[in-house]
């Protein structure tokens, strides 16, 4: 399943040279993950309130390929690669046009209210395993 989120680069996202500051790509892909879950019908606020379950980044591998610049229109693509009992692995790519600027593989762990790793709730695992191809227009 693939989700795409459009993001505009604002002045505040850039460094003195007008290039997106490296840490801001992590913010962009966080927004992509949140919107991917939202489009799948997963309300993270409700999930936490009802069961105490939250997602936390366990591992992140990132490649900075090309710079994004002020006023660029970017696409943040998010796709599920793997799901285990307690983890979700996603591939995320930030593109400008067809060119990949940043690529990351992100492993999310499901945690309980005390911050301990736990299995994904069955209803959540079912949604993730059957999720259709999705894209934001």
pLDDT score at 120: 93
Please indicate whether residue 15 is annotated as part of the active site.
Answer: yes
The pLDDT, as a whole number, for residue 123 is: 86
Domain boundaries, the chain: 2-130
In tens, the pLDDT along 23-32 reads 999 999 999 9
- The predicted model scores a pTM of 0.90
Report the largest interatomic distance among the alpha carbons of the chain, rounded to a whole angstrom. 48
Two structure tokens written together for 18: 């007008």
| Marked catalytic residue, from 15, 43, 71, 112 | 15
pLDDT tens digits, 55-89: 999 999 999 999 999 999 999 999 999 999 999 99
Element (H, E) at 118: none
Q: What does the pLDDT look like over 122-136, one tens digit per residue?
A: 888 888 887 644 444
Residue 122: burial class (beta carbons within 10 Å; 0-12, 13-18, 19+)? exposed
Look at the domain 2-130 and name its fold. Thiol Ester Dehydrase; Chain A (3.10.129)
């Amino acid at each position: 399943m693939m989700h795409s989120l459009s993001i505009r680069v604002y002045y505040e996202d850039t460094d003195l040279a007008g290039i997106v500051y490296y840490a801001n790509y992590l913010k962009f892909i966080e927004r992509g993950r949140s919107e991917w879950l939202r489009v799948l019908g997963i309300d993270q606020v409700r999930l936490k309130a009802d069961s105490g379950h939250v997602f936390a980044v366990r591992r992140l591998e990132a490649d900075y390929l090309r710079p994004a610049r002020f006023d660029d229109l970017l696409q943040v693509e998010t796709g599920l690669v793997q799901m285990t009992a307690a983890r979700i692995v996603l591939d995320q790519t930030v593109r400008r046009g067809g060119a990949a600027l940043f690529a990351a593989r992100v492993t999310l762990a499901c945690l309980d209210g005390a911050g301990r790793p736990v299995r994904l709730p069955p209803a959540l695992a079912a949604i993730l395993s059957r999720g259709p191809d999705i894209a934001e227009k």
